[in-house]
Structure 1
Amino acid sequence: MQILTVSPDRYVEHSNLLKQMHRLRATIFSERLEWDVTITDAGERDEYDNLDPTYILAVTAEAKVVGCARLLPALGPTMLERTFPQLLATGSLNVSARMVESSRFCVDTTLPAGRGGGQLHLATLTMFAGIIKWSMANGYDEIVTATDLRFERILNRAGWPMKRLGDPVAIGNTVAVAGTLPANRESFERVCPHGYRSITIEDYSRQTRSAA
């Protein structure tokens, strides 16, 4: 398993990976979690996918997307301020240029391999490490996100606790909470699984061409 980043200039070239990502999001958010999200034949997507985000993907050796997250600069429109302001104690973010918003994080934890001894799934830890590493490499030291209490507990178990920005609020069939996460070397080393690998899209392209 490896981490890939897909920036806007690579959307067309790697459309197959993004199609898998949208289908995975539909499976997780609509079918498993039963969230009120928009589903089309192409999968799950929303207005924030139109803002040229960078996608972090966890991809298996068989080129299957098993984890994803969407990253957007917090200086621009954010899901927290536009869609879930009720999760913020002040109703708005104290935004800085070093803050990035992560949204639509999900992982296919039904994979037969990747979990053992009650530990978190390998794909989950790989995604955490990938998000932190990309954030640091792009000048961000703080990640803001909206999630639920279940996922907040997962973050705590991983050793990457979230600092809440407000009280939990019932939204639909879940209890949501907003918070910030540090993007630094210490956090990366705590969550990084053994054998973690992150490669560039260019390397991935050469890899897949060689496999063909």
Structure 2
Amino acid sequence: MTDIHVITRENRAYYSDLIEQHHRARHDIFVGERGWNDLRRDDCRDVDDYDDEHAIYLLAVDGSKLVGGQRLYPTLRPHMLSEVFPHLVHRALPTGPQIYEWTRYFVVKERRYGRTDCRLLAAVQQFCLNEDIVQLTAVVEMWWLPRWQQAGFKSRPLGLPQVIEGQPTLAVSIDISDASLAAVRRQGGLRRDDLVTHHLSQPTTGVRSYAA
């Protein structure tokens, strides 16, 4: 059974092994598969300036295996779109306490043809609804737009696309809504809330004990 674990500064100590797996999986996917060579590190871990105490991770775990993940970051702080890709924004940059940046979305190769993608997309909508987050911003390759439309997400470009790492890429905003959550759940045949948000009473190592 796949669950999506919500990891914040409050419970991060309980998830140290899982977070380490996720940094290595990100390096395998974004550097090894997608060729983002600016992210290459000798320790084979994808870690950047936004993997700090303010980051929120939604990580998909099936039994003891990490199968996907994504990161949210507050836009009231310097973030990737404001600091690294401001040239992609041709209008006012959306920021505020109810707007977060969405980055580092991935699904491991062997799970890309199942429900994991829909579970992660549903999880980001559900988490944001729970936390009164009304909008996300993101920098994505243009091939993401029809996928989001298929999933029922409402997105808007914040500027014109530019080629980054060989791919047409643009900045977008994504609305959070009950309608989008319902649409992606229908597409994936999801009948339950996959978010795990409880805090464990003692730190532990090993992913298996994290599942609800």
Which position in structure 2 is the counterpart of 1:155? 148
Which structure has more relative contact order (CA 8 Å, sep 6+)? It is 2
Is 1:130 aligned to 2:120, yes or no?
Answer: no
* RMSD between aligned residues: 2.4
Contact 1:80 1:146 in 2 (8 A): yes
Which residue number corresponds to residue 166 of structure 1?
Answer: 159
Shift in Å, 1:59 = 0.9
TM-score normalised by L of structure 2: 0.86
d(CA) in 1 for partners of 2:139, 2:210: 39
Partner of 2:7: 6
Q: What does residue 50 of structure 2 align with?
A: 48
Comparing 20-29 with 9-18, which one deviates more in the overlay? 9-18
TM-score of the two chains, using structure 1 as the length reference? 0.86
Question: Which residue in 2 is equivalent to 1:100?
Answer: 100
Q: Which amino acid aligns with 2:102?
A: S
Shift of 1:74: 1.2
Give the match for residue 199 of structure 1: 196
Task: Decide which moves more: 188-197 or 28-37.
Answer: 188-197
Moved more, 197-206 or 6-15: 197-206
Identity of aligned residues (%): 24
Q: Which amino acid aligns with 1:29?
A: F
Partner letter of residue 188 of structure 1? L
- What is the Cα deviation at residue 42 of structure 1? 5.3
Over residues 144-196 of structure 1, what are the superposed CA-to-partner deviations in whole Å (9 max), with x where a residue is unaligned? 11111122232122221421111111112222111111111111111123244
Cα–Cα, structure 1 residues 58 and 210, in superposed 2: closer, same or farther, change >3 Å? closer
How far is 1:63 from its partner?
2.0
Which residue of structure 2 lines up, in the alignment, with residue 89 of structure 1?
90
Q: What is the aligned residue count?
A: 202
1:72–1:78 Cα contact (<8 Å) kept: yes
Whether the 8 Å contact between 1:101 and 1:144 is mirrored in structure 2 is yes
After superposing the two structures, state which structure 1 stretch, 132-141 or 155-164, moved more: 155-164
SS, match of residue 100 in structure 1: strand
1:98 maps to amino acid? Q
**Partner residue of 2:182?**
189
